[in-house]
Amino acid sequence: MLIKVPKASDCHESDVTPEPFYLSRRNVLGAAVAGLAVSSLPRWANAADAERYPGVEPGKAPSWFAEKLPATKWGAVNVKDEAVTPFKDATHYNNFYEFGADKGDPAANAGALKTEPWSVVVDGEVGKPGRYELEDFMKPYQLEERIYRLRCVEAWSMVIPWIGFPISALLKEVEPTSKARFIRFETLQDPKTMPGQRSGFALIDWPYVEGLRLDEAMNPLAILAVGMYGRELPNQNGAPLRLVVPWKYGFKSIKSIVRISLVSEQPKTTWQSIASDEYGFYANVNPTVDHPRWTQARERRLPSGLFKPNVRDTQMFNGYSDEVASLYTGLDLRKNY
In the complex, the residues that contact ligand MTE under the rule CB under 6 A are: 94-98, 150, 152, 187, 208, 237-238, 250-251, 253-256
Residues 6+ apart with CB under 8 A from 178: none
Closer to ligand MTE at the Cβ: 44 or 279? Answer: 279
Q: Single out the residue of 82, 78, 92, 83 nearest to residue 10, CA to CA.
A: 92
Q: Where are the alpha helices (DSSP H) in the chain?
A: 19-34, 47-50, 63-68, 87-92, 105-109, 134-138, 167-174, 195-198, 214-218, 270-274, 321-324
- Could you list the residues known to form a binding site for Mo-molybdopterin, using ranges: 94, 97-98, 152, 187, 237, 242, 253-255
Q: How far is the CB of 44 from ligand MTE (least distance, A)?
A: 23
Q: How far is the CB of 175 from ligand MTE (least distance, A)?
A: 27
CA separation, residue 78 to residues 147, 148, 233, 261, 327 (Å): 8, 10, 20, 34, 26
Closer to ligand MTE at the Cβ: 61 or 152? Answer: 152
Closer to ligand MTE at the Cβ: 45 or 283? Answer: 283
CA separation, residue 243 to residues 128, 147, 305 (Å): 21, 14, 28
CA separation, residue 320 to residues 77, 142, 220, 288 (Å): 18, 23, 11, 15
Q: How far is the CB of 98 from ligand MTE (least distance, A)?
A: 6
- Could you list the residues known to form a binding site, using ranges: 94, 97-98, 152, 187, 237, 242, 253-255
Closer to ligand MTE at the Cβ: 6 or 30? Answer: 6
Closer to ligand MTE at the Cβ: 27 or 206? Answer: 206
Q: How far is the CB of 110 from ligand MTE (least distance, A)?
A: 10
Determine the residue type at 320.
Y
Q: How far is the CB of 104 from ligand MTE (least distance, A)?
A: 11
Q: Single out the residue of 231, 128, 230 nearest to residue 170, CA to CA.
A: 128
Q: How far is the CB of 198 from ligand MTE (least distance, A)?
A: 15
Closer to ligand MTE at the Cβ: 256 or 286? Answer: 256
CA separation, residue 61 to residues 54, 64, 236 (Å): 18, 8, 15
Q: Taking CB positions, which residue lies at the least distance from ligand MTE?
A: 250
